[in-house]
Amino acid sequence: MPPKKKANAKPLAGAALIKEVNRRIRLARSLWDAHRNAACRGERQKAMALYETLSKEEREKVPQTLRVWLRYRSEKYFGEDRTPPGGKH
């Protein structure tokens, strides 16, 4: 397991923040491909939260394929208009 982050750790910024956004989107995509939708949903939400903190210039540094998956394609499955997970079958 990776080491836990310390409470006094500095928030990510700049290149480190962009790298973390990319990592989280790639992780969410791999979870999606593995059909682990609940885990994918959580990672996607974390990636979106970080992505929203980026400036316009920083967002341009995120590869286009990752931006498309995060913002549009996955919105079809995880958007607000979708039924939330955990419902009765």
Q: For 53-57, what is the mean pLDDT?
A: 92
- pLDDT at res. 72: 74
- What confidence category does residue 73 fall into, taking pLDDT thresholds of 50, 70 and 90? low
Q: Which of 57, 63, 55, 53 is closest to 11 using CA atoms?
A: 53
- What confidence category does residue 7 fall into, taking pLDDT thresholds of 50, 70 and 90? low
pTM over 0.85: no
Q: For 2-9, what is the mean pLDDT?
A: 56
Tell the residue number behind the tokens 């974390």, with chain if given.
46
Q: Do residues 45 and 84 lie in contact, with contact meaning Cβ atoms separated by under 8 Å?
A: no
Name the DSSP class of 23.
Answer: H
- pLDDT at res. 10: 65
